[in-house]
Amino acid sequence: MDDLRPDLIRGPDGLARCGWVGDDAEYRRYHDEEWGRALHGDRALYEKMSLEGFQAGLSWITILRKRPRFREVFAGFEPETVAAFDEADVERLMADAGIIRNRAKILTTIGNARLVAAMTPGEFDAFMWSFAPEPRSAADRPVAFADVPAVTAASDALSKALKRRGFRFVGSTTMYALMQSAGMVDDHLVGCHRAG
């Protein structure tokens, strides 16, 4: 009999993981190799912000499966390149079934690129990480999904600061999801093989 906590799941490799992974191989890879690991770099964080914005109202697995195409059509999420996109690019993106065809989200991704591109190299990374809370102790690690918040004071502060700078699709819930996925917070559950 398996003695896993209720919100954990054991993969085919025998490792315990956060239960949101389910039995999806791509989710297992994402959980093990990306989610909760420190992500740095202006381009990488701009991509993460963009994809989290596209995810709003959808499941993350939908975005994850479309991520290769997103990267292709958004020029690898190089802020300087995306910042130069024009109306023809918007129409090209709206016609691409390989991504989420939402005009507001596409325009936001371009507008946010312009804001990142206007910063000095490394400034966006430093700004984003300045909102990362102190790492929690092992005793404070979440045990169940119910222990994982949707928003925190840190995600509220990050969201407000980004909005003051003109960024869009950066609500507190979206920013907390970014903080989790970019490793600014570690919400791997107690018993997960990735829990630090």
- Angstrom distance (rounded) from CA 143 to CA 117: 40
Domain range spanning residue 77? 42-182
Phi-psi region of 112 (alpha: psi -120 to 50; beta: other; left: phi over 0): alpha
Asked whether residue 11 is domain-assigned, the answer is: no
CATH value at residue 103: 1.10.340.30
The half-sphere exposure of 64 on its side-chain side, counting CA atoms within 13 A, is: 15
Residue 5: predicted pLDDT: 83
Q: Which of 60, 78, 80, 129 is catalytic?
A: 60
pLDDT tens digits for the chain (196 residues)?
Answer: 467 888 999 999 999 999 999 999 999 999 999 999 999 999 999 999 999 999 988 999 999 999 999 999 999 999 999 999 999 999 999 999 999 999 999 999 999 999 999 999 999 999 999 999 998 888 889 999 999 999 999 999 999 999 999 999 999 999 999 999 999 999 999 999 999 7
Residue 158: predicted pLDDT: 98
Q: Which of 35, 46, 52, 176 is catalytic?
A: 52
Asked whether residue 24 is domain-assigned, the answer is: no
Asked whether residue 30 is domain-assigned, the answer is: no
Asked whether residue 3 is domain-assigned, the answer is: no
Asked whether residue 34 is domain-assigned, the answer is: no
Asked whether residue 29 is domain-assigned, the answer is: no
Q: Is 193 annotated as a binding residue?
A: no
The half-sphere exposure of 111 on its side-chain side, counting CA atoms within 13 A, is: 15
- 176 catalytic, yes or no? no
Do the Cβ atoms of 37 and 187 come closer than 8 Å?
no
Asked whether residue 155 is domain-assigned, the answer is: yes
Residue 2: predicted pLDDT: 62
Task: Indicate if the alpha-carbon torsion angle 31, 140, 175, 43 is positive or negative.
Answer: negative
- 52 catalytic, yes or no? yes
Q: Is 154 annotated as a binding residue?
A: no
- Angstrom distance (rounded) from CA 15 to CA 195: 12
- 30 catalytic, yes or no? yes
Q: Which of 20, 30, 80, 129 is catalytic?
A: 30
Q: Which amino acid is at 8?
A: L
Asked whether residue 55 is domain-assigned, the answer is: yes
Residue 104: predicted pLDDT: 97
Residue 34: predicted pLDDT: 97
Specify the number of domains making up the chain: 1
Residue 28: predicted pLDDT: 96
